[in-house]
Amino acid sequence: MHCETIEKQRKILLSVRNGSEKAYQELYEQWVSRLYGFVFQYLKSKDATDDVVQETFLRIWSNRANLNPDVSFKSYLFTIAYHFLLKEMRRQLNNPLMEDYVEYLNRSSTEIAEAESLMCYDQFVNALEKGKQHLSPRQRIIFEMNKEYGMSISEISEKLSITNQVVRNQLYMALKILRVELRQYYPLLLLFLKDI
Protein backbone atom coordinates (compact mmCIF):
# COMPACT_ATOMS: atom_id res chain seq x y z
CA MET A 1 0.00 0.00 0.00
CA HIS A 2 0.89 3.64 -0.39
CA CYS A 3 1.20 4.01 3.37
CA GLU A 4 3.88 1.30 3.41
CA THR A 5 5.93 3.16 0.79
CA ILE A 6 5.66 6.42 2.73
CA GLU A 7 6.49 4.68 6.01
CA LYS A 8 9.52 2.97 4.44
CA GLN A 9 10.78 6.33 3.12
CA ARG A 10 10.15 7.88 6.53
CA LYS A 11 12.20 5.17 8.28
CA ILE A 12 15.07 5.63 5.84
CA LEU A 13 15.06 9.40 6.43
CA LEU A 14 14.99 8.92 10.21
CA SER A 15 17.94 6.52 9.95
CA VAL A 16 19.87 8.99 7.80
CA ARG A 17 19.08 11.77 10.26
CA ASN A 18 20.51 9.55 13.01
CA GLY A 19 23.74 9.04 11.02
CA SER A 20 23.17 5.67 9.30
CA GLU A 21 25.50 5.45 6.31
CA LYS A 22 23.66 2.34 5.10
CA ALA A 23 20.34 4.24 5.00
CA TYR A 24 22.09 7.16 3.27
CA GLN A 25 23.42 4.77 0.61
CA GLU A 26 19.91 3.37 0.13
CA LEU A 27 18.50 6.88 -0.23
CA TYR A 28 21.26 7.75 -2.70
CA GLU A 29 20.58 4.67 -4.84
CA GLN A 30 16.85 5.36 -4.77
CA TRP A 31 17.15 8.95 -6.09
CA VAL A 32 20.48 9.38 -7.92
CA SER A 33 19.34 8.40 -11.42
CA ARG A 34 16.27 10.66 -11.37
CA LEU A 35 18.31 13.57 -10.03
CA TYR A 36 21.07 12.95 -12.59
CA GLY A 37 18.52 13.01 -15.44
CA PHE A 38 17.00 16.24 -14.19
CA VAL A 39 20.37 18.03 -13.89
CA PHE A 40 21.77 16.67 -17.16
CA GLN A 41 18.81 18.15 -19.09
CA TYR A 42 20.21 21.59 -18.29
CA LEU A 43 23.97 21.14 -18.14
CA LYS A 44 24.47 18.65 -21.01
CA SER A 45 27.81 17.72 -19.44
CA LYS A 46 28.52 14.50 -17.56
CA ASP A 47 31.27 16.09 -15.45
CA ALA A 48 29.21 19.13 -14.46
CA THR A 49 26.17 16.94 -13.78
CA ASP A 50 28.26 14.58 -11.63
CA ASP A 51 29.51 17.57 -9.64
CA VAL A 52 26.02 18.97 -9.01
CA VAL A 53 24.61 15.56 -8.04
CA GLN A 54 27.57 14.88 -5.73
CA GLU A 55 27.30 18.32 -4.10
CA THR A 56 23.57 17.79 -3.59
CA PHE A 57 23.99 14.45 -1.84
CA LEU A 58 26.90 15.78 0.21
CA ARG A 59 24.65 18.63 1.36
CA ILE A 60 21.95 16.09 2.30
CA TRP A 61 24.50 14.19 4.40
CA SER A 62 26.11 17.24 6.01
CA ASN A 63 22.66 18.62 6.93
CA ARG A 64 21.18 15.24 7.85
CA ALA A 65 20.26 16.46 11.35
CA ASN A 66 17.74 18.81 9.69
CA LEU A 67 16.00 16.11 7.63
CA ASN A 68 12.26 16.13 8.24
CA PRO A 69 10.79 12.69 7.48
CA ASP A 70 7.28 14.16 7.41
CA VAL A 71 8.04 16.45 4.43
CA SER A 72 8.46 15.28 0.83
CA PHE A 73 12.10 14.24 0.42
CA LYS A 74 11.79 14.66 -3.34
CA SER A 75 10.93 18.33 -2.92
CA TYR A 76 13.81 18.81 -0.48
CA LEU A 77 16.30 17.00 -2.73
CA PHE A 78 15.34 18.83 -5.92
CA THR A 79 15.29 22.21 -4.19
CA ILE A 80 18.88 21.69 -3.04
CA ALA A 81 19.87 20.41 -6.49
CA TYR A 82 18.40 23.36 -8.34
CA HIS A 83 20.43 25.78 -6.19
CA PHE A 84 23.64 23.95 -7.13
CA LEU A 85 22.43 23.74 -10.74
CA LEU A 86 21.80 27.47 -10.82
CA LYS A 87 25.26 28.12 -9.35
CA GLU A 88 26.86 25.92 -12.03
CA MET A 89 24.92 27.60 -14.82
CA ARG A 90 26.03 31.01 -13.58
CA ARG A 91 29.63 29.78 -13.44
CA GLN A 92 29.38 28.55 -17.03
CA LEU A 93 27.84 31.82 -18.18
CA ASN A 94 30.55 33.87 -16.48
CA ASN A 95 33.50 31.72 -17.60
CA PRO A 96 32.94 30.47 -21.14
CA LEU A 97 35.90 28.57 -22.59
CA MET A 98 37.34 30.09 -25.76
CA GLU A 99 36.75 27.02 -27.93
CA ASP A 100 33.12 26.86 -26.72
CA TYR A 101 32.47 30.56 -27.18
CA VAL A 102 30.25 30.25 -30.26
CA GLU A 103 28.17 27.54 -28.61
CA TYR A 104 28.00 29.67 -25.47
CA LEU A 105 26.54 32.59 -27.43
CA ASN A 106 23.88 30.34 -28.92
CA ARG A 107 22.91 28.84 -25.57
CA SER A 108 23.30 31.75 -23.16
CA SER A 109 19.89 33.37 -23.62
CA THR A 110 18.18 30.00 -23.24
CA GLU A 111 20.17 29.18 -20.10
CA ILE A 112 19.35 32.52 -18.50
CA ALA A 113 15.65 31.93 -19.13
CA GLU A 114 15.93 28.41 -17.70
CA ALA A 115 17.80 29.70 -14.66
CA GLU A 116 15.06 32.23 -14.00
CA SER A 117 12.49 29.44 -14.23
CA LEU A 118 14.46 27.34 -11.77
CA MET A 119 14.51 30.16 -9.22
CA CYS A 120 10.80 29.68 -8.67
CA TYR A 121 11.10 25.89 -8.21
CA ASP A 122 10.75 26.08 -4.44
CA GLN A 123 7.62 28.21 -4.88
CA PHE A 124 6.36 25.58 -7.31
CA VAL A 125 6.96 22.81 -4.76
CA ASN A 126 4.92 24.71 -2.17
CA ALA A 127 2.16 25.35 -4.72
CA LEU A 128 2.17 21.66 -5.66
CA GLU A 129 1.68 20.65 -2.02
CA LYS A 130 -1.27 23.08 -1.79
CA GLY A 131 -2.62 21.89 -5.14
CA LYS A 132 -2.63 18.28 -3.96
CA GLN A 133 -5.07 19.30 -1.23
CA HIS A 134 -7.68 19.76 -4.00
CA LEU A 135 -7.38 16.10 -5.01
CA SER A 136 -9.58 13.35 -3.64
CA PRO A 137 -7.74 10.99 -1.25
CA ARG A 138 -7.53 8.30 -3.95
CA GLN A 139 -6.31 10.76 -6.62
CA ARG A 140 -3.65 12.08 -4.26
CA ILE A 141 -2.41 8.60 -3.32
CA ILE A 142 -2.20 7.52 -6.97
CA PHE A 143 -0.53 10.78 -8.04
CA GLU A 144 2.10 10.52 -5.28
CA MET A 145 2.77 6.83 -5.92
CA ASN A 146 3.29 7.48 -9.63
CA LYS A 147 4.97 10.90 -9.76
CA GLU A 148 6.79 11.08 -6.43
CA TYR A 149 7.67 7.44 -5.78
CA GLY A 150 8.10 6.41 -9.42
CA MET A 151 5.67 3.48 -9.32
CA SER A 152 4.21 2.23 -12.60
CA ILE A 153 0.49 2.00 -13.35
CA SER A 154 0.58 -1.78 -12.90
CA GLU A 155 2.48 -1.55 -9.59
CA ILE A 156 -0.09 0.92 -8.26
CA SER A 157 -2.93 -1.25 -9.53
CA GLU A 158 -1.49 -4.25 -7.70
CA LYS A 159 -0.80 -2.33 -4.46
CA LEU A 160 -4.27 -0.78 -4.32
CA SER A 161 -6.12 -3.83 -5.72
CA ILE A 162 -7.76 -1.83 -8.51
CA THR A 163 -7.61 -2.12 -12.30
CA ASN A 164 -4.99 -0.39 -14.44
CA GLN A 165 -7.78 1.64 -16.06
CA VAL A 166 -8.99 2.97 -12.71
CA VAL A 167 -5.41 4.02 -11.91
CA ARG A 168 -5.11 5.78 -15.30
CA ASN A 169 -8.46 7.52 -14.86
CA GLN A 170 -7.64 8.73 -11.34
CA LEU A 171 -4.18 9.90 -12.44
CA TYR A 172 -5.70 11.73 -15.42
CA MET A 173 -8.22 13.51 -13.16
CA ALA A 174 -5.48 14.42 -10.65
CA LEU A 175 -3.32 15.91 -13.41
CA LYS A 176 -6.29 17.82 -14.81
CA ILE A 177 -6.94 19.40 -11.39
CA LEU A 178 -3.25 20.18 -10.82
CA ARG A 179 -2.93 21.82 -14.25
CA VAL A 180 -5.63 24.27 -13.20
CA GLU A 181 -4.28 24.79 -9.67
CA LEU A 182 -0.69 25.25 -10.90
CA ARG A 183 -1.36 27.14 -14.14
CA GLN A 184 1.16 29.87 -13.27
CA TYR A 185 3.83 27.17 -12.87
CA TYR A 186 2.79 25.19 -15.95
CA PRO A 187 6.31 24.88 -17.49
CA LEU A 188 7.68 23.57 -14.19
CA LEU A 189 4.70 21.23 -13.79
CA LEU A 190 5.46 19.75 -17.22
CA LEU A 191 9.11 19.30 -16.25
CA PHE A 192 8.14 17.75 -12.92
CA LEU A 193 5.76 15.30 -14.57
CA LYS A 194 8.06 14.46 -17.47
CA ASP A 195 10.12 11.60 -16.08
CA ILE A 196 10.57 12.03 -12.37
What is the DSSP annotation of 12-45?
HHHHHHTT-HHHHHHHHHHHHHHHHHHHHHHH--
Please tell me the distance from the alpha carbon of residue 122 to that of residue 16, in angstroms, as a whole number. Answer: 23
Residues 54 and 62 sit within 8 Å (Cβ to Cβ): no
pTM metric for this prediction: 0.52
CATH code linked to domain 121-196: 1.10.10.10
Neighbour count for residue 136 (Cβ, 10 Å): 12
Residues 187 and 162 sit within 8 Å (Cβ to Cβ): no
Please tell me the distance from the alpha carbon of residue 61 to that of residue 17, in angstroms, as a whole number. Answer: 8
Please tell me the distance from the alpha carbon of residue 63 to that of residue 57, in angstroms, as a whole number. Answer: 10
Structural domain boundaries of the chain? 121-196
Task: Give the residue among 194, 72, 50, 165 at the shortest CA–CA distance from 125.
Answer: 72
Q: For residue range 83-140, what is the model confidence (pLDDT) as tens digits?
A: 888 888 777 665 544 345 445 445 555 555 555 555 556 677 778 888 889 999 999 9
Q: For residue range 15-46, what is the model confidence (pLDDT) as tens digits?
A: 999 999 999 999 999 999 999 998 888 888 89
Neighbour count for residue 158 (Cβ, 10 Å): 13
Q: For residue range 38-86, what is the model confidence (pLDDT) as tens digits?
A: 888 888 889 889 999 999 999 999 999 988 888 888 888 988 888 888 8
